[in-house]
Each structure stands twice: as structure tokens, then as C-alpha cells.
Amino acid sequence: MGLDFKKVYQAMLDELNPEVVRIPLYWHDIEPQEGVYLFDDYDWMIEKAKEKDVKLVLAMGQKLPRWPECQIPEWVDPLSRERKKDEILHLIEKIVWRYKDVGNIYAWQVENEPFLHFGECDKFNKDFLDEEIAMVRSIDSDRPVILTDSGELGTWFSAAKRSDIFGTSVYRIIWNKYFGFFEYPLPPNFFWFKANLLHLFYPGKPVIISELQMEPWGPKMIYETPLLEQEITMNIAQFHSNIEYAKKTGFNEIYLWGVEWWYWMKEKHNRPEFWEAAKEIMTNKDK
């Protein structure tokens, strides 16, 4: 998007004042060459959040938010399936050991929506997911493990039973290669019903909205999409509508997805209304 990530991140902390931020730790950033680990950027982000007393969820694994989901270093491609698994486990081990003593780490997220077949990813293996979770817990048994699933398409049960906190995504208007632009015809109590059904089997399981759509979704990357087309799935009215929709689900912890886009609209297109709306929402969380 042509942005300086440090400027965006610092502005988010200084101006939006979030309570919790989720940071995906992308494998291709951390280990661009086999055995060569570059944590400087993530160290900086974690330290800056600590200075502002902002809690962090660190997401790790091979499948993380943002297309193409599985963002794997090129050197991993020719490896065997078993060798890839070993490398992923080693990556998770390195991350948790590095940050387990950092006081503002709130939770670990293992993979992103692993039970949803989406993105350019290898075939999913739930037994390996269990190994990843076990690796995290063997190093840090005090912090909760978050697993996520699609709100509209996932069953939730497989992710919920493995996690301490279950997170659902909530998307309202999407683009699909079969249907084009599509609005889910689901009322907010659809999510309330799924959560209560889940609680029949896992009483007391915390359920949060781990990813609320607050940016456009189209057939191309955002920076390749004309603004008029972006407004099909996200405009300021839809922005506020999604917030009200999320409140009506009854979940008391909601993570907003799209901060880079709000900043990009403000800085590159002189459209500050999304950034300002987010600032108002963060300032009046209790309302």
C-alpha cells in the first residue's frame, strides 16, 4: 500500500488507543533464509505496544490473516511435508521462547481459521495442529491459546475444543469468484445462536469476534482496486453498520480488521472519515 509500517503502527497506538492488538508474525518475514531469524521489526512493535500499555495477541504458524493466508518462505517450498512440519514447530518454539516473558503478551493465536479451506495453503492436518498447540503450551502454560474459525462458514466446534478462547470472524459483504459481490443474509443472532450451541458442549468457553470486517473485500488487492469498487463492500455507512451488527451479537470482545486501510484512505486519498470513526469507537468502547 506504499505505507511506512512504523508510522502506521505508531499512529494506531497514539491516536486510536486500542486496548489489545493482534499481530500476525509472518514466517517469511521472520525466517527469510533457513536458520536466519529476523525479529527486529516484531521486537519494535512489541516494545512500542508495551510503552503504551497495550496488550498483544501474537498469531503464529503457517496460515495467518491477509491473502494468500499461508505466507511461507521460498526456501520451504521444496521441502518434504514432514520436514515442513518440523520447521513450523521450530518457528513456533522460537517465537514463544522469545516473547514468553514479555509482560504485555495477552494470548497466543495458533494458525488462522485452520479448519476453513481458504487461501493458497497445503492440505490441512488437524493432528499437526494439535502438535502446534502442544508446543505452545509446553513452553507457556499460563497464557491462553486462541483458535479461530469463520463465523459464516465454520462449525466452530473443532477449533473451540482445542482452544482456551475461541475467536470468530464476522464478514458482511464479500467478493466470491462464483457469485461476485455478496452480502450474507444473516442476522446478528445467528452468531449468538452458534455461541450458545457451542456452550452446550463447552460451558463457559470465551467466544470473541477476532476479526470484524472493517475494510473492503474484492477480487484484487485493495491498492489495485478503484475506490468506487471498494465502496461496494465498505463505505462509511457500512463501517458504522458493521459496528452495530457486531454489538448485537452480544460478544464483549471485538477486534476490528482494517487499520492499515483506514490510514491509507486518510493519507493517500484525503478520506479521514474511517480513521476518525475508529478513533471515536475506541474512545467510547463502553457505549
Which letter does DSSP use for residue 143 in this model?
S
Section 58-77 average pLDDT: 95
Of 83, 20, 25, 31, whose CA–CA distance to 255 is shortest? 20
In sign, the C-alpha dihedral spanning 197, 253, 26, 174 is positive
What is the domain partition of the chain in residue ranges?
9-143, 145-202+211-251+258-282
CA angle 266, 15, 110 (to 5 degrees): 90
Cell 514432514, located at residue: 82
How many percent of the chain have pLDDT more than 90? 97
Q: Determine the pLDDT at residue 3.
A: 97
Cell 492440505, located at residue: 123
Q: 129-140 in b/e burial notation, b at 16+ Cβ within 10 A?
A: beebbebbbeeb
Section 277-282 average pLDDT: 96
Convert the pLDDT of each residue in 180-204 to its tens digit.
Answer: 999 999 999 999 999 999 999 999 9
CA distance 26 to 135: 18
Average pLDDT, the chain: 96
CA distance 64 to 171: 17
CA distance 219 to 180: 8
Q: 153-174 in b/e burial notation, b at 16+ Cβ within 10 A?
A: ebebbebbebbbbbbbbbbbbb
Convert the pLDDT of each residue in 252-270 to its tens digit.
Answer: 999 999 999 999 999 999 9
Asked if pLDDT for residue 287 goes beyond 80, the answer is: no
Q: Which CATH superfamily is domain 9-143 in?
A: Glycosidases (3.20.20.80)
Section 101-119 average pLDDT: 97
Q: Is 119 left (phi over 0), alpha (psi -120 to 50) or beta?
A: left
Section 141-153 average pLDDT: 98
pTM here? 0.96
Q: Determine the pLDDT at residue 283.
A: 87
Q: Which residue has the higher pLDDT, 287 or 31?
A: 31
CA angle 118, 122, 128 (to 5 degrees): 105
pLDDT band at 284 (very low <50, low <70, confident <90, very high): confident
